[in-house]
Amino acid sequence: MGTIHPLEAQAYFERKYGFVEWVKRYSPMDELLFTVLSQNTTDLNSAKAFQNLINAFGTPEGIARQSVQSIANQIRVAGLGNIKSVRIKKILAEIKRQVGSYDISFLSDIGTENAKKWLRSLDGVGPKTAAVVLCFAFGMPVMAVDTHVYRVSKRLGWIDSKISVEKAHDELESIIAPENRYQLHVYLITHGRKICKAIKPKCEECILVKKCPSSLIRS
C-alpha cells in the first residue's frame, strides 16, 4: 500500500494539470454572497444565481433592502432559495451591524486566523465558506474543503476516513504548507472531477496510482 505526501502529489499534479496561478475572483463581499449561493449546487448554477441577484438589485446595499421573498425569487436556480435568501439577509444585516457598511475588506488587516474566526461567527458561514472567501478574494493561505477535496484527501490517506468535513479544514492545514494550499485546493478539485470520481474512480488513468493507499489497481 503506497502513501504520498501532499508536496509530492502537488508536483505530480503540476506536471499533469499545469501550474496554477492565484487569480482574484470577486470583491470580498461579492465572493461571500457567491459562496453562500454555491452551497449544495454547481458552480454554473451559483454563478447564474449571483448574476441574477446583481442584475436585479445591483449592490449588497440593494440586496439588503429586499424582502427574503424577492431575494429567493432571484436565486432559485441555485436551489434552496428559501434557505439561502434568509441566510443572505441575516449575513448582510450582521455585517452592517458590526462594520457599519457592507465592506469586509478590513479582513485583510486582522490576520488569517482572526479573519477566519470573524467570518465563521456569521450565522450561515461555515469553515468552507469562510475559507473560500479568504482564499479567493484575499489570497490568504487557507485550505477550502469542498466535496472533491474532502473525498480525494481521504482516499490519499491525508485525513481520516471518518473525519467531518468541518474538521477536515484544520486537519489539512496542519499537513499542507501555507504556500501550497491554494494550488492543492485547485488540483484536488480538478483531479476529483476528472479522475478520482465519487463513483468509479479511474485509478487506471491516475498519475498517483502507485502511491495511493486507495488505488483499485493492485500491482
Residues that bind ligand SF4 (CB under 6 A): 152, 155-156, 195-196, 201-203, 206, 208-209, 212, 214-216
Nearer CB in complex with ligand SF4: 15/65 = 15
Q: What is the full DSSP assignment across 86-150? A: HHHHHHHHHHHHHHSSS--GGGGGS-HHHHHHHHHTSTT--HHHHHHHHHHHH--------HHHH
The least distance separating ligand SF4 from the CB of residue 208, rounded to whole angstroms, comes to 5
For residue 189, give the nearest of 4, 42, 79 by alpha carbon.
42
Distances (CA, A) of 26 to 15, 129, 133, 157, 195: 28, 14, 9, 33, 29
Return d(Cα 120, Cα 3) in angstroms, integer: 33
Nearer CB in complex with ligand SF4: 126/157 = 157
Q: How many CB atoms lie within 10 A of CB 61?
A: 12
Residue with the three cell numbers 463581499: 29
Return d(Cα 62, Cα 69) in angstroms, integer: 14
Nearer CB in complex with ligand SF4: 95/195 = 195
The least distance separating ligand SF4 from the CB of residue 96, rounded to whole angstroms, comes to 44
Nearer CB in complex with ligand SF4: 85/215 = 215
Q: What is the DSSP letter of 218?
A: -
Nearer CB in complex with ligand SF4: 25/197 = 197
Distances (CA, A) of 117 to 38, 39, 97, 121: 21, 19, 17, 6
The least distance separating ligand SF4 from the CB of residue 165, rounded to whole angstroms, comes to 18
Return d(Cα 180, Cα 150) in angstroms, integer: 16
The least distance separating ligand SF4 from the CB of residue 2, rounded to whole angstroms, comes to 9
Nearer CB in complex with ligand SF4: 94/146 = 146
